[in-house]
Each structure stands twice: as structure tokens, then as C-alpha cells.
Amino acid sequence: MANCTFCGTDIRRGTGLMYVKKDGKIFNFCTRKCEKNMFKLGRKPRVTRWTKEFALVKSSAKTDSKEKKVTKK
């Protein structure tokens, strides 16, 4: 099973869309929504709230901020 290049969800066999660029890079998309957000709208997965990459970045930012909040007495 492939993962969606934009949102990171698993793509079931026989579904989705594969986009191959001239330079040989392969992009797999689960829906037209993901394809449109990446190519036409130019959005980045890290700043798009409904993607898995955004959740990873957000959770790592929370753990970093908790580590920095060390109180000194």
C-alpha cells in the first residue's frame, strides 16, 4: 500500500491517483483534494491542518515547549 504524498494516509489498492513528473518523481494522491492542494494551490503539508505531517509538527512543538518550561528557584 502506498501513502498519499500530501496528507500521508494509506491508499488502498486500486484507488487513488499516481502523478509522474518529467524528472521521474512519483506522487501518490488519495483524492483530488490532495492533488489540488499540492499542485494548483501550492500548499505545504506542514501548515495544512488536516494532514498527518501537521499533527507531527504540532505534537513535537508541544513537547519542545514543555521541555523549555523548566522553572528555576
In a domain, 22, yes or no: yes
Decide if 29 is inside a domain: yes
In the chain, how many domains are there?
A: 1
Q: How far apart are CA 53 and CA 67, in angstroms?
A: 21
What does the alpha-carbon distance between residue 9 and residue 15 come to, in Å, rounded to a whole number?
12
User: Residue 48's domain is classified under what CATH number?
Assistant: 2.30.170.20
Start-to-end CA span in the chain (Å): 53
Per-residue pLDDT of 8-53, as tens digits, reads: 999 999 999 999 999 999 999 999 999 999 999 999 999 999 999 8
- Per the domain annotation, does 49 fall within a domain? yes
Count the residues in the chain: 73
pTM metric for this prediction: 0.75
Residue 54 counted as domain residue: yes
- The amino acid at residue 24 is G
Give me the pLDDT at residue 65, please: 72
Return d(Cα 7, Cα 38) in angstroms, integer: 10
Q: Does residue 47 contact residue 54 with C-beta atoms inside 8 Å?
A: yes
Domain span holding position 63:
2-68
